[in-house]
Amino acid sequence: MPFPLAYVPLPDRYDGRMPYRRCGRSGLDLPAISLGLWQNFGGDDVFENARAMLRRAFDRGVTHFDLANNYGPPYGSAEENFGRVLASDFAGLRDELVISTKAGWDMWPGPYGDIGGSRKYLIASCDQSLKRMGLDYVDIFYSHRVDPKTPLEETMGALVQLHRQGKALYVGISSYSPELTEQAAAILREERVPLLIHQPSYSMLNRWVEGGLLDTLEALGTGCIAFSPLAQGMLTRKYLDGVPKDARAARDGSFSPNLLTEENVARIRALDALAAARGQSLAQMAIAWVLRDPRVTSALIGARTVAQLDESLDAYVIPTCISPNRILACRCPPCWGMNWPA
C-alpha cells in the first residue's frame, strides 16, 4: 500500500499508552520500549518496510531510535536509511526524537576503522554517522564495546570531546563489566560529563547484569537500556522447531543453532506455556519481564514487520509480575544463557 505524500503522525501518540522512564539521575526520559535498527533496516532490506516500521513506532509513542555505525548490512546503510526517513517523514519532528549511535566494532578497512576505542576511530566514526543521517548532533553516542588495547582514558576522552563539541548531547557505554563501568564513570566525572546510560544485553535467558551491573548503575545514577530482551529471537516461538530456512540467522550466521539444545528448547517451551497462561505471547512476556525492574530504563527491541513491532509494543497491555522463582521453575537459572564476558 503506497504511503501518502506527507506523513502526519497520530495525534494520540502521547496518550499514555507508552510509558516514559527517567534515565538514571538525568533530565532525559526514554520510552519504556525503544526501537533498534540493528537488523532489517539496512540497504539489503526493503526500504518501504523499514520506513513503515519507523512510522508505526513513532505513532505508538516510541521516540528513541538506536543505531550504530556498522548496522546494515551493508555497514552504514541503516544510518543512511534512517537519514532518508528523517528527511522525508520526521523532518519537523527532530526535537521529539532521541537518536543514538555507537562505534567500537569494525567499520572500514585499515587500522583506524577496525575494532577499537581509539580517539581517532571514535571521532571519525561519529562524524561519518552524522553525515549519513544528515544530523548536526546525536542525542546519545556510545562506546560500543570495551577495547582492552586502548587506555580507557582515551576512549572516555573521545566521548568527552564529542560532548563538548556539541556532537553528542549525552554519552554512554555498552557491554562494559561493572568494574569497568565504575572506572569509565569516574573518568567522565572528572571531566564533568555524566555517564548517562549503559546498554547491556539482558533477558530471561541472559541475566548477567544481575551479577552486579544493575547495582552499579543504580549507585552511579546511570540509566540502563537492555538490548536483546528476546535473546535474539529465542524468546519467541520462532526456533521451537529449529532454525527456519528463510530466517536471517540461517543465512548470515548471526545465530548459533548450537544454542537450540534439547534442554534449552524445553526451557523455552516452559516459558511459552507460562506466557500463554497469562494471555500473552512469549515475546510480550519476555519484554515486560525485563522492564519489571525499575533500574531498567528501556527495553531495546528489533522488528522485521509492522505486525511483529505491534506485538512487541503490546507488551504493556498485561502487567507482568513474574517472580524469579517462576522463572527458575522453568529451569532457567539466574546466570544461564549467552552471557557477555566481563
pLDDT digits (tens, 9 = 90+) for 95-128: 999 999 999 999 999 999 999 999 999 999 999 9
All three cell numbers of 180, joined, read: 569497568
Tell me how far apart the alpha carbons of residues 87 and 93 are, in angstroms, rounded to a whole number.
10
The CATH architecture of the domain made up of 20-233+281-319 is: Alpha-Beta Barrel (3.20)
Q: What are phi and psi of 280, to 5 degrees?
A: -125, 160
All three cell numbers of 185, joined, read: 564513570
pLDDT digits (tens, 9 = 90+) for 229-269: 999 899 999 888 877 776 665 566 566 667 778 888 899 99
Cis, peptide link before residue 73, omega less than 30° from 0: yes
Q: What is the 3-state secondary structure (H, E, C) of the chain?
A: CCCCCCCCCCCCCCCCCCCEEECCCCCCEEECEEEECCCCCCCCCCHHHHHHHHHHHHHCCCCEEECCCCCCCCCCHHHHHHHHHHHHCCHHHHHHCEEEEEECCCCCCCCCCCCCCCHHHHHHHHHHHHHHHCCCCEEEEEECCCCCCCCHHHHHHHHHHHHHCCCEEEEEEECCCHHHHHHHHHHHHHCCCCEEEEECECECCECHHHHCHHHHHHHHCCEEEEECCCHHHCCCCCCECECCCCCHHHHHCCCCHHHCCHHHHHHHHHHHHHHHHCCCCHHHHHHHHHCCCCCCCEEEECCCCHHHHHHHHHHHCCCCCCCHHHHHHCCCCCCCCCCCCC
Q: What is the 3-state secondary structure (H, E, C) of 104-129?
A: CCCCCCCCCCCCCCCHHHHHHHHHHH
Task: Write down how long the chain is.
Answer: 342
Tell me how far apart the alpha carbons of residues 315 and 311 are, in angstroms, rounded to a whole number.
7
Burial of residue 190 (number of CB atoms within 10 Å: 0-12, 13-18, 19+)? exposed
Question: Domains of the chain: which residue ranges?
Answer: 20-233+281-319
Determine how many CB atoms are found less than 10 A away from the CB of residue 154: 16
pLDDT digits (tens, 9 = 90+) for 159-184: 999 999 999 999 999 999 999 999 99
* Nearest CA-CA partner of 286 in 220, 342, 228, 229: 229
Q: Could you tell me if 44 and 75 are in contact, meaning their C-beta atoms sit under 8 angstroms apart?
A: no
Type of residue at 206: N
Percent of the chain at pLDDT exceeding 70 = 88
What's the pLDDT score for residue 259?
A: 72
What's the pLDDT score for residue 340?
A: 40
Q: Could you tell me if 98 and 131 are in contact, meaning their C-beta atoms sit under 8 angstroms apart?
A: no
Q: Could you tell me if 16 and 47 are in contact, meaning their C-beta atoms sit under 8 angstroms apart?
A: no
Tell me how far apart the alpha carbons of residues 43 and 307 are, in angstroms, rounded to a whole number.
21
Residues near 277 by beta carbon (within 8 Å), at least 6 away in sequence: none
30 - beta bridge partners? 21
Query: Cα torsion for 40, 43, 48, 54, to the nearest 10°?
Result: 50
Would you give per-residue pLDDT tens digits along the chain (342 residues)?
Answer: 555 568 999 999 999 999 999 999 999 999 999 999 999 999 999 999 999 999 999 999 999 999 999 999 999 999 999 999 999 999 999 999 999 999 999 999 999 999 999 999 999 999 999 999 999 999 999 999 999 999 999 999 999 999 999 999 999 999 999 999 999 999 999 999 999 999 999 999 999 999 999 999 999 999 999 999 999 899 999 888 877 776 665 566 566 667 778 888 899 999 999 999 999 999 999 999 999 999 999 999 999 999 999 999 999 876 555 555 565 555 555 544 444 433
What's the pLDDT score for residue 143?
A: 99
250: left (phi over 0), alpha (psi -120 to 50) or beta: alpha
